[in-house]
Amino acid sequence: MYDTTRPEMNVDQLHTKISARNVQVFYGTKQAIKDLNVEIQDKTVTAFIGPSGCGKSTFLRCINRMNDTIDSARVEGEIMMDGSNIYDRGVDPVQLRAKVGMVFQKPNPFPKSIYDNVAYGPKIHGLARNKAEMDEIVETALRGAALWTEVKDRLQESGTGLSGGQQQRLCIARAVATAPEVLLMDEPCSALDPIATSQVEELIEQLRSQFSVVIVTHSMQQAARVSQKTAFFHLGNLVEYGDTDDIFTRPQDSRTEAYISGRIG
Amino acid sequence: MTDFPNDGTKSGGQQWASEAFKGRLAKRHRKETGLKLLGLAALSLAFLMLGILLWTLISGGAQAFRQTHVTLDVPISAEMVDAADPAAGNYRGVIGEAMQATFPDAAPDQMRALSGILSNAAQFVLRDRVVADPELIGQTVEIRVPTSDTYDQLNKGNVDEGSAEATRRLSDEEIRAFRQLEAEGRITLPANWALLTNADSRFPELAGLRGAIIGSFYALLVCFVISFPLGIGAAIYLEEFAPKNKISDVIEVNINNLAAVPSVVFGLLGLAVFLNWFGMQRSAPFVGGLVLALMTLPTIIIATRAALKAVPPSIREAAMGVGASKQQVVFGHVLPLAMPGILTGTIIGLAQALGETAPLLLIGMNAFVTAAPGSPFDASTALPTQIFIWADSPERGFVARTSAAILVLLGFLVLMNAIAIFLRNKFERRW
C-alpha cells in the first residue's frame, strides 16, 4: 500500500518556499502564537503536530491569510513566500489564496455539481478562456486528486452526494484547480475512514512533486508516513522543527519526546 | 487514569436499589408525566379555541356564500329605451313594468313596496345587457338578479314569519308576494360569486370584496417590492460586511425593537410622513404598501440574518479558500443557500402585513369605495379594513358577509403560509 522504502528527497537542496520570521498571532488579547520562525521547503510535505490548541492550525491559516476573516485576529511579523511578505499592504489576500490552496478538516464541497465545484476557482480567477480550456482544467485537477476515474461519468451530479473520502478528494481537486504553489491541509483525514485516509495520504505523496504541502495532523503515524519535515507546536510555540525521521527517532526537546511518546497531549 | 477508588468497594452499588433512590426515580417520572399532560392540555385548549373560531365564522359566514336571486322576464319596449342611446333608457321603468306584469293584481302603492324585492342593481344589470346588445330592444329578456337583503334573509330563513307584523321588516303582503315568486320557480339560491367579483356597496346583496382584494394585492405588492430588496440588503450588510462595534450593536437592538413596535404607530408615522408631509393620495394602496413595508422590514431583516447565520461556516471557508472575494462568497454561496429561509421569512412577514388593520385605518384605507382600484394610486380598501367596515354595518347581510370576508382573508393567509412551507421543503438543502 505505502512504499516505506522510497528514496528520501534531499530536502536541503530544495529552496525555501515559505519563511516565517517572528510571527505573533493574537486573538483579541490572547496570544495564540509566540515568536514563530520556520522555513518551509518547496516540493516537500511538512507536517505540523502538537496537542489541541497549540496554534498549528492558527499558523496554517496565517499562510493563506484566512485569519484576516476573523475580526479579532491580529498577525505580527513576516511570512515570506518566494521572497516577498504576504502580509505586505500591496498583497491581495484573494489572489494569495489562489496561489495557496487549502483543504479543510471536514470535507466541504459546495452544494453544486462536481464539475462546478472544481471549476469555481478557475472561473472566478479567469483562468480559462473557454469551455474547452475549463474542461481540461477540471479534468487535470480531478486526475491530480485521483478522483477522475470515479466521477468522470457523473460530473453534473452534486458534489455533496459523494462519499466522505471522495468529497475530500474533490476538495483537494478544487484546491489544486487554481494551480497553487502551496497546498495547506488542516487535518484532512480526521473525518475519514482508514481506507479513505490511505487514499488521501497516497495522494499527498503524489502532490508533493508539484506543490509544497503543509499538513496539520493529530495522528503522529500519519505525520511519520506522509511528511519529510515535521514541526512540533506546543502552547503557541514552535518547539522543534526538523526532518521527520529525526523528530520521531531523536527528538531534541523533552516536550517533543513526551508528546510523541504519548505522555502529553 | 481515573480518580475512582480502586480498592474493590463498588461505589454506590447498594444505592440503586435503595428506597430513597426509587422514590427519587418515581418523582422524576411523575414530573415528566405531569409536563406531558400539561402540554397536551394546552394543545387541546388551543385546538378547542381554533375550532370555536372556525365554527363561528363558518356558521355565520356560510350564508353569505350563496345569494337569493329572482329570475324575471322583462319586455324592453322601444318607448322606454331609445335605440339611438340605449345607455340613457328608463330601465327603472322597464323593471317596474315587468314587476307589474308579474303581479297584475297589485295596486300602485303596493307595487312600490313589491319592487323592493329586486335589488337596486337590477336596472343596471339590464342596462349593461342592452348596451352590449341593442338588438334586445323590443324583445323580452330573461334576467336573473339578486333580491334585496331583506328578502334574501327571508329566503334563508332568518325572518320569523310567526312574529307580529309590526316587528318585522317585511309585511305579510310582501312575504306573500315573495312566496308567489317562489312557487313560480323564480327564486334560486346560487353560489354568490359577486362576493368576490363585486366591489363594496351600500346594499349588502351587492357588496363584494373585489376592491378589497385588489387593494390588498396592490398594497402587498408595494410592500414586497420595497421591503424585500431593502430588507435583504440591510441584513447582508449587517451580517456579512458591517464591522462589529457599538454602532452596529445599537442598530441591531433597534431593529429588534422595531419588530415589536405596535402597528398603529407605523400607521401614525405613515399619516404624518407620507400623507401630511409628502402629500400623497389618501386611502391609496401605494401608501398602505409603504406603511406595511416599514412594518415588514424588521421581520425580513431578522429572518434574513437568521438564514444567513445558519449557512455553515465551512461553505464560506471553502469559497474563501479558493480565493473568492467577500462579495463572491456572499452572493455566490451564502445567499443562495439562505434563500429558502429568507423566502419563508418574507412570506410570513407579508402574511402578517396582509392581516394588518390599524396602520391602514390611519391612512384612510377604511373609506367607502364602490369601485375596485385601477392602480395602486386609486383610493381603495384592503381586506382587513373591509372587514372592519362591514363589521360596523347593521344590516343582517353584512353580518354574514363580515364572517365570509374573514374566511376569505384566512384563506389567503393559509395559502401564503402553505407556499412558505412548500418553498422551505423544496429548496432546503442538507449538507
> What ipTM is given for this predicted complex?
0.84
Q: Indicate the residue of B312, B320, B323 with minimum beta-carbon distance to A125.
A: B323
Quote the pLDDT of residue A84. Answer: 87
pLDDT digits (tens, 9 = 90+) for B294-306: 999 999 999 999 9
Closest Cα partner for A189 from A103, A60, A265, A247? A103
Query: Which of B161, B192, B223 is at the close of a domain?
Result: B192
Among A66, A92, A100, A102, the strongest candidate for a mutation testing the B interface, having the largest count of B CBs within 10 A, is A102
Average confidence (pLDDT) over B109-125 = 82
Same domain, B422 and B289: yes
Quote the pLDDT of residue B14. Answer: 61
CATH for B248: 1.10.3720.10
Same domain, B377 and B231: yes
Same domain, B309 and B186: no
Same domain, B113 and B249: no
Q: Is B315 on the interface with A (CB under 8 A)?
A: yes
pLDDT at B32 exceeding the cut of 70: yes
B387: cell is: 372587514
Same domain, B278 and B417: yes
Residue B141 within a domain:
yes
A18: cell is: 515559505
pLDDT digits (tens, 9 = 90+) for B387-405: 999 999 888 889 899 999 9
Instruction: Tell me the chain B residues in contact with residue A106 when contact means C-beta distances shorter than 8 Å.
Output: 314
> How many distinct structural domains can be found in chain B?
2
Angle in degrees, 0-180, between the axes of helices A131-144 and A114-125, rounded to the nearest 10:
120
pLDDT at B176 exceeding the cut of 50: yes
Q: How far apart are the first and last CA of chain B?
A: 38
Q: CB contacts < 8 Å between A and B, how many? A: 63
Average pLDDT, chain B: 88
Contact A69 B320 (CB under 8 A): yes
Same domain, B270 and B385: yes
Contact B323 A106 (CB under 8 A): no
Residue B1 within a domain:
no
Fold of the A14-108+181-260 domain: Rossmann fold (3.40.50)
Q: Indicate the residue of A94, A95, A108 with minimum beta-carbon distance to B315.
A: A108
Q: How confident is the model at residue B18 (pLDDT cuts 50, 70, 90)?
A: confident
Q: Indicate the residue of B317, B328, B337 with minimum beta-carbon distance to A108.
A: B317
Ranges of each domain in chain A = 14-108+181-260
Contact B321 A102 (CB under 8 A): yes
pLDDT digits (tens, 9 = 90+) for B227-273: 999 999 999 999 988 888 899 899 999 999 998 899 999 999 999 99
Quote the pLDDT of residue B391. Answer: 92
Residue B387 within a domain:
yes
Instruction: Tell me the chain B residues in contact with residue A101 when contact means C-beta distances shorter than 8 Å.
Output: 321-322
Quote the pLDDT of residue B357. Answer: 92
Portion 232-271 of B in contact with A at CB < 8 A: 243-244
Instruction: Tell me the chain B residues in contact with residue A171 when contact means C-beta distances shorter than 8 Å.
Output: 318
pLDDT digits (tens, 9 = 90+) for B316-355: 999 998 889 899 999 999 999 999 899 989 999 999 999 9
Q: How confident is the model at residue B5 (pLDDT cuts 50, 70, 90)?
A: low
Portion 351-410 of B in contact with A at CB < 8 A: none
Quote the pLDDT of residue B274. Answer: 92
Q: Indicate the residue of B323, B325, B333 with minimum beta-carbon distance to A110.
A: B333
Same domain, B346 and B402: yes
Q: Is A111 in contact with B339 (CB distance < 8 Å)?
A: no
Residue B155 within a domain:
yes
Same domain, B314 and B343: yes
pLDDT-flagged residues of chain A (< 50): 1-12
Residue B395 within a domain:
yes
Contact B314 A108 (CB under 8 A): yes
Same domain, B188 and B225: no
Query: Which of B192, B225, B259 is at the close of a domain?
Result: B192
**Domain boundaries, position B273:** 210-427
Portion 336-355 of B in contact with A at CB < 8 A: 337
Global pTM reads 0.82
User: Using CA atoms, how far apart are residues B389 and B382, in angstroms rounded to an integer?
Assistant: 10
Residue B42 within a domain:
no
Q: Following DSSP, what letter does each residue of B394-406 receive, concatenated?
A: -SHHHHHHHHHHH
